Amino acid sequence: MDDALLALPPPVFGVLPEHPAFFESIGYQINGLAVVFIALGLIWAVMETIGIYFKRRDTTQRLAAAPPDAVIPTAESESPPDGQPTPELAAVIAAAVAFTMRGQRYRIEAIAPATYSDWAREGRRQIFASHQVR
């Protein structure tokens, strides 16, 4: 049985000599990269195809389940007016505060979105506070 395995010809792909030349090494590496990129591309294509299928299926099921004159809510119409957070978001924020405070007293006065200028201003303040005046 071992003689039969020894009689097989050596594999053609993926074999380098014991001391390969420079261009043999480069060719081997380029082939390896090509295989990896092709595999990643195929995985990406399969995932995109599956995503498109499920998006279409969800849309057709929603349209089939809704009466003809019904308005199907979208992401824009589900948000409350005046920039107020949804009840779910308020509950998540309250749970995060309760977990952070762990038994200490607290009161949530308001939930409002932060503006980017506030973050930038705070970052500049911290940078200037860390520098020493000479």
Each residue's pLDDT tens digit, 18-66 = 788 888 888 888 989 999 999 999 999 999 999 998 888 877 777 676 6
Where are the domains positioned within the chain?
A: 17-73, 80-111
Ranking 16-20, 40-44, 81-85, 116-120 by mean pLDDT, the lowest is 81-85
**81, containing H or E segment:** none
Alpha helices (H) in 1-134, listed in sequence order:
2-6, 22-65, 75-78, 87-101, 116-130
Q: Name the residue among 51, 33, 30 with its Cα closest to residue 41.
A: 33
Amino acid at 75: A
Q: Which residues are CB-neighbours of 80 under 8 A, at least 6 positions away?
A: 86
